[in-house]
Amino acid sequence: MPSKRLLLQIDFRSGLPIYTQIVNQIQARVAAGQLQPGGQLPTVRALAEELRVNFNTVARAYRILDEARLISTQQGRGTYITELPAQRASERLRRESLLALAQRFAAEALRLGFSKQEILQAARDQLSAAQAARQSDETA
C-alpha cells in the first residue's frame, strides 16, 4: 500500500538547510493535527523523490524527528507518527514551528532587501488581516 504524499514546500534559496525545512514542516503538521499519531510517513526514498532532494537529506530529517520521538521507524514496516507528546511537549513543538515560520519569513524578506520597519509593518498587517478573517469565519 503506497504512502500518501506529504506535499512539503522546500525553498532552495532560503538559506535554511533542506533537512531543517523538512523537520519544521512535519513538526508543524503534527502540532496542527494534520498528521495524526499512527499515521504513516512516506519512505525516505519516496520523500526524497517527491522533493527532488538527496536521499541522505531526508534520512537526516527523519533521524532528527526520530531522536525527538516525534516519529518511529520500524524496520521493514515503515515510519509512523508516534503518540502525541505530553501537553508541554506539544506546546514546545508549536513554539518551534512558529519560530521556524518567522525565520523563513524574516530571511526571505531580508534577502529581498526590505528594511526592518517594512518587514514588521507587513507582519502586523498580515496578522490583523488573518485575525479579521478568522473572526469572520467564526461568526459565519
For residue 1, name the pLDDT band (cuts at 50, 70, 90). Answer: very low
Question: What is the pTM (predicted TM-score) of this model?
Answer: 0.65
Mean confidence (pLDDT) of the chain: 87
Contacts with 112 (C-beta within 8 Å, 6 or more apart), sequence order: none
Q: For the segment 85-134, what is each residue's pLDDT rounded down to a tens digit?
A: 556 666 777 787 788 888 888 998 999 999 999 999 999 999 999 888 88
Q: Does domain 18-139 have CATH number 1.10.10.10?
A: yes
Cα–Cα–Cα angle for 133, 104, 116, rounded to 5 degrees: 85
Q: Which residues pair with 80 in a beta bridge?
A: 40, 72
pLDDT for 86 equals 58
Task: Report which of 84, 7, 75 is spatially closest to residue 39, judged by C-alpha positions.
Answer: 84
Using one digit for the tens of pLDDT, what is the confidence trace for 42-68? 999 999 999 999 999 999 999 999 988
